[in-house]
Chains A and B, each alone.
Chain A
Amino acid sequence: MSRTRKHYYYLGGAVILLFLPLVMNDHLLTVAITGFMWAYLCLCWNLVFGFAGQFSLGHALFWGIGAYTSTVLFVNYGLTPWVGIFVGGLFSAIAAWLISLVVLRYRVKGVYFALMTLAFAEVFMGLALNWDYIRGPVGILLPMKNSPGNLFFMARAPYYYFILGLLGLGLGATYGIQKSKLGYYLKAIREDEEAAEVSGVPTSRYKILAMVISAFLTALGGTFYAQFFLYISPEIMFGFSSQMTMMIGTMVGGAGTLLGPVLGSLVFSFLGELLRSLPLAHSRELVTVERMIWALVLVGVIFYLPGGLVTLGNRVKSQRGKPGTS
């Protein structure tokens, strides 16, 4: 496929996405919004794991900081989440910067890095549970009203366009990083950190940069979650399950690629919808069955398709005798 034709396909896809709310009912829109939100979060995690090769298990921390910052600022001080979302992003970026400084200063790597980031998220969850100022374990309920100035809408379509914009931002950031010096440096760090260091790549600076960008973007997703679902609690925001979803979507779609994380999460959204449309048991059971399928798909992909679903196309192509383009 030639370059320009590929671009036309992307353009066509984008136009279709823009007009989808006109033909979708509320239920389908909710599915699309949730799917895009996870796709966006997967993209954020992918920046750190897929590009810099840093196995963060603490992205729930950044997600939670985003949601809690904007929500507390709005509920307690009336600051509009349109501003709060960026304050959350800033706080989250600062947290990521501080954590990265500690991690780099003491050379925490591999499993230790994963456990350390996980531990930071857990510590924050413990603090959030015991901090009455942010309502502890009860969580915060956001008002349900139509107030576009405060990023609350009664209709679904505005949320759809908002998350579509975020997704575009995530894709743009990933694409930009991929094509820039930063992307090549990060790839070099992922493949062989010592070799990169020796060849003059300032590894620390770029690892911090990847982490900070990713944390900032993740926090924006956190605010979106709060504005759309209107309820946040320490378990939801700092618990491990959001991290799990980011990891599964990214790994199944293909870590370190542009479209892999999006593809992975959308496949799961689609599978979930398919499952719910079958005349089966109660919804509570369906959720568990759905997650069991996620787990099986994850393990299957890691074992049999280590590059993720995005490599599927290339495989088919190379079997036809054409080398894969990537």
Chain B
Amino acid sequence: MSVSSVQTSLVDRAAPPPVRPARRASPGVRLKYALTVLAFLLPSAIPLTLFVLAPMVSAAWVSLTDWNLISPQVFVGFENYANLLTDPETGAVFFHTLYYIVGYLPLVYIGGLALALGLNTALKGRSFLRGIYFLPVITSWIVVALVWRWLLNPSNGVVNTVLGFFGIAGPGWWSDPAWAMPSIIIASAWKDLGFVMVILLAGLQAISPDLYDAAKVDGAGWWRRFVSVTLPMLSPSTFFVVVISLINGFQVFDQVYAMTGGGPAGASEVVVLRIYDLTFRYGQAGEASALSWILFIVILAITLIQVRGQKRWVTYG
């Protein structure tokens, strides 16, 4: 659920005024208050500590060892990192992941924006239509992958059948190294379009109509209003979509696993699939942990750069 990790820093409002016991309250009262706080916090603090924070630290340790999950761990320092950085496979999986992001992001953003603009009007059956567009969002990645594997089936999938009807010989889609990643991108964009649409629609609805009225008074046409009012006022929502898409894009896994398994011939092998394979197929847990730390640092760095850079283009009205 990294979904709202970013906007938290943006949304977080000041905490309401305190009502804790005064400093001069008796020790009994203060102890009782402390126990109350613990009672409310521990149910979440214990699982977060045991199953997120502790493994995080332990992954850092594993990444410094040579280990196949069974034999004793051997400390090797930064050897795993050095191996990864010189292994051409590492460059390849990052390249495939970037390819995915570069194909996917413009598709969902432009598509989602067009839909949001269309639905932000006096449309009959608006919420029903919005519900249809949102349907793929609630569907699991595995189902999405299977359905699209079938739609894009090279021999008798419906897409190639329709293309054939127009006299076009459809490509081999997921069975062709050159088309495997585009197939994954199409399926992913179909699934996430409704999500982006809802975020942008909420952003559009938060724009004050006065701004449009003022622009109209100044004689601005539709395009001018779109460029000078809509896009800047929508920039916080755009920022959110971009940040979330990059975080999720670097972690792409489910749909690749189910649609191509990283193939054909490794053409769609992405970073997380590599982590999975290193751990459970090649028994190189140390290298897998090192790669997952590299991935985490890359995601963190890219997110921080965006948060820093948002001043340049994000308008908070």
A complexed with B: no
